[in-house]
Structure 1
């Protein structure tokens, strides 16, 4: 396929996604299109990140990929977080050899049958929005062509998101975060901070610790807090 035709394929993978940017259907459609467009990828997840400890899942091509994004959020480590903080792709062709970097995440990923992860930052200039995380069940490096196309897809996704933000007359991606899968975490964090008179950062740390100790995700704990299935007082230090 000619280079120009290939560029059209990549652009259609993003621009032809169902739904509108900021909606779960759009993020899921983009991820599925990325898996179809890239060679050697079994699943993809699209995650907005404000900091290493604040993220929102826009969509994933498979439930197990979404769960791995939850694990990165709960554990505070993983290739997506590293790619976001460093501003460069993180390409792990064999997770078994990378357990020293993110031991807890590596255990979770391998338990899910994942052998390789490739995380690409959603970044245009100085504006960093999140990551496109690609998962594969067999070890091995991306081909140079696939790596270049994955980076191009990440740039196109960032462009679409920023264009939407510009039309909304804001450079803050909160318009997306309000519809993200982790909106419940923000609500529960605020509830905990208000009830215990602590900062939002401390409240989130307590949510994460509670989730880790019980083997749950932060999102699950947040929803339990909102539904009053967990007494907020249980989350004190």
Structure 2
């Protein structure tokens, strides 16, 4: 969706039937039995280069974990979109998967500490620095449930 690209923020529409935001799109989507749409910006730093569009036939909101996963997926699409088409998919994903893990770990932290994703990412970075470990290793430990940041951990 253009709104996700323009704003750089997710667009979450859980019920197309009740929105007047996109009249032409809404009518066409409802004719195709699409009742909820979600768009996640695909970013290169601060630049929006596209959007990951998701839809479903039943109205309803996405859960926090699903939104976090979709944001990580959108983030992990960037290298694939900007990589030489002759590179193998395995090569592209192996080089850039760690970014998805970092964002997935930030999602875990966000839920556990009840903070924003930006704050969770900041907490993850601070924790990795305080432990003198690469952020990717810490993220993997969090995603694999071998590590949980202490609730009382605060950035210096």
Tell me the TM-score normalized by structure 2.
0.52
The RMSD of aligned alpha carbons is 1.7
Contact 2:16 2:26 in 1 (8 A): yes
Please list the CA deviations of residues 30-67 of structure 1 after superposition, one character each: whole Å capped at 9, or x if unmatched: xxxxxxxxxxxxxxxxxxxxxxxxxxxxxxxxxxxxxx
Matches of residues 142-181 of structure 1 in structure 2 within 5 Å?
142-162=62-82, 164=83
Task: Tell me how far 1:141 sits from its aligned partner.
Answer: 0.5
Moved over 6 A (4+): none
Please list the CA deviations of residues 95-154 of structure 1 after superposition, one character each: whole Å capped at 9, or x if unmatched: 0111x1111110000000000000011102123211110010000001111110001000
- Matched with 1:134 is 54
How many equivalent pairs are there? Answer: 86
- Matched with 1:87 is 8
Please list the CA deviations of residues 186-210 of structure 1 after superposition, one character each: whole Å capped at 9, or x if unmatched: xxxxxxxxxxxxxxxxxxxxxxxxx
Task: Tell me how far 1:159 sits from its aligned partner.
Answer: 2.5
Task: Give the whole-Å Cα distance in 1 for the aligned partners of 2:81 and 2:30.
Answer: 31
Task: Give the whole-Å Cα distance in 1 for the aligned partners of 2:25 and 2:74.
Answer: 23
User: Any unmatched runs of 5+ in structure 1?
Assistant: 1-79, 169-237
Matches of residues 196-215 of structure 1 in structure 2 within 5 Å?
none
Task: Give the whole-Å Cα distance in 2 for the aligned partners of 1:144 and 1:159.
Answer: 25
Contact 2:6 2:48 in 1 (8 A): no
- Matched with 1:209 is none
1:116 to 36, 42, 53: 36
